[in-house]
Structure 1
Amino acid sequence: MSFTGLYEFLRALQKNNSKEWMDDNRKWYHEVRDFYIDWLNQMDLKLAEIDPDYTHTTGKKAINRINNNLLYHPDRPVYKDHFGAGLDQETKQGDFYIHLGTSESFIAGGFYKPKSSLLKSIRQAIDYNGEEFVDILEKPSFKKMFGGLIDDGESLQTAPKGFSQDHRFIELLRKKTFAVQHDLTQKLVTSSDFDDHVVEVYKELLPFRQYLNQAVSV
């Protein structure tokens, strides 16, 4: 099994997104899932070598369910068109998320629409030491890899409660998502360089996640 096989399975699932098809191809699904879990286990060890604060996360814990939640989203297909997984998992810690899908593949990190208590802590950190956060965001290699913060379309139009409208970091303080994304091509994912690329993305993302993690831990 390989990432090429993973994408082949997802394309077939996308064309036949039903429980009947999945039941008929359950063995194929488990072969792909087991491959991805094994790869996540290997990546878990590699990331732990470069980050002393890394939290070991097994592939089985990291991988997300492929079933959509039809109870809350009955209009969605039965199954997702991607495999998603979160490594370096710890309570109240920003994500390191790997998404491999037919329509898009990417690595993302940070806090996507965090709950109000975490969002409040992040804003307080920016108020206290926004210069450090801006330096991280403006670092040329970081901007090249991630661009800017993900736009969730839900930024406040005014200043959040407790902050002045003319605050020097008002544009950051208005945001409700503090996450970035690095897009991947299927060609890269299926290449021999993919593991090394994931490590490089993790390294570049580390100061960003460390800043946010420290913000929500105090």
Structure 2
Amino acid sequence: MNFQNLYAFLRALQKNNAKEWMDDNRKWYHEIRDSYIEWLTQMDLKLSEIDPNYTHTPGKKAINRINNNLLYHPNKPIYKDHFGAGLDQETKQGDFYIHLGTSESFIAGGFYKPKSALLKSIRQAIDYNGEELKAILNKPSFKEVFGNLVDDGDSLQTAPKGFSQDHEHIDLLRRKTFAVQHNLTQKTVMSADFDNQVIKIYKEMLPFRTYLNQAVSV
């Protein structure tokens, strides 16, 4: 996969975010998209070899549309400034998300502002066994790769309904997002070692995703 070409395309698209430009450069777009789909498919196979519970997600299924949804966001540009893809996709579970864009590139996973039923299940798991989640979050290697949980700025100021204000895990129970993110530089993405970096990040994130996915599966 020529990631340098991918970033070059996205920079050009960002400067010419219009259907006319995309029509004139449709061949370039499909060249990038097809190559990225092939890379995702190969990564899908590699990740399935290290995780027995991995859900196969071929590149064509993993990749997101580059068109913005103008029906719900009419003020957004026609096209996104990134290629997004979710591997290890399973219904109602958090996937392994790869975001390659002009302004930011990162790998993330977990649940970003999940629906109330899923959030309730996660909070119940924390109430029952929050020590396990905290042990995962406080593991030195995990901290090194991800830092802290993604801050959506939307945490509750008080305890959620059904939980005490002095609950030992109140800091987690107040949250509405349970996700982590590892930021990438374009230099890292374009390096020969990028595939190994993705695998390393996947392995480090796996216990966190497993905890959350089990929480919403019960």
Shift of 1:120: 0.2
Distance 2:64 2:181 in 1: 18
Partner residue of 2:180? 180
Amino acid corresponding to residue 186 of structure 1 in structure 2: Q
**1:1-218 pair list within 5 angstroms:** 2-218=2-218
* Gapped regions of structure 2 (runs ≥ 5): none
Q: Give the distance between the partners of 1:125 and 1:141, measured in 2 at CA.
A: 23
Structure 1 stretch displaced more, 69-78 or 191-200: 69-78
CA–CA distance in structure 2, aligned partners of residues 60 and 179 of structure 1: 24
Shift of 1:146: 0.3
Counterpart residue identity of residue 140, structure 1 = P
| Structure 1 unpaired stretches of 5+ | none
The superposition leaves residues 5-38 of structure 1 with CA deviations (integer Å, 9 ceiling, x where unpaired) of 0000000000000000000000000000001000
Letter in 2 for 1:176: K
Residue 94 (structure 1) shift: 1.2
How far does residue 2 in structure 1 lie from its aligned partner after superposition?
0.4
How far has the Cα of 1:92 moved from its partner? 1.4
Please tell me the residue identity of whatever aligns with 2:17: N
- What amino acid does structure 1 have at the position aligned with 2:133? F
Letter in 2 for 1:42: Q
Measured in 2, the distance between the counterparts of 1:187 and 1:35 equals 19
Q: Report how far residue 145 of structure 1 moved.
A: 0.4
Q: Secondary structure at the match of 2:175?
A: coil
SS at match of 1:205: helix
CA RMSD of aligned residues (A): 0.6
Q: Distance in 1 between matches of 2:25 and 2:187?
A: 25
State how far apart, in whole Å, the 1-side matches of 2:30 and 2:94 are. Answer: 29
| SS across alignment from 2:181 | strand
Count of residue pairs the alignment pairs up: 218
CA distance in 1, matches of 2:212, 2:15: 40
Where in structure 1 do 4 or more consecutive aligned residues deviate above 2 Å?
none
TM-score (norm 1): 0.99
Letter in 2 for 1:216: V
- Separation (CA, whole Å) in 2 of partners of 1:118 and 1:98: 22
TM-score if structure 2 supplies the norm length? 0.99
SS in 1 for 2:108: strand
Q: CA deviation at 1:126?
A: 0.3
Structure 1 residue 106 displacement after superposition: 0.1
Instruction: Indicate the percent of aligned positions where both proteins have the same amino acid.
Output: 82
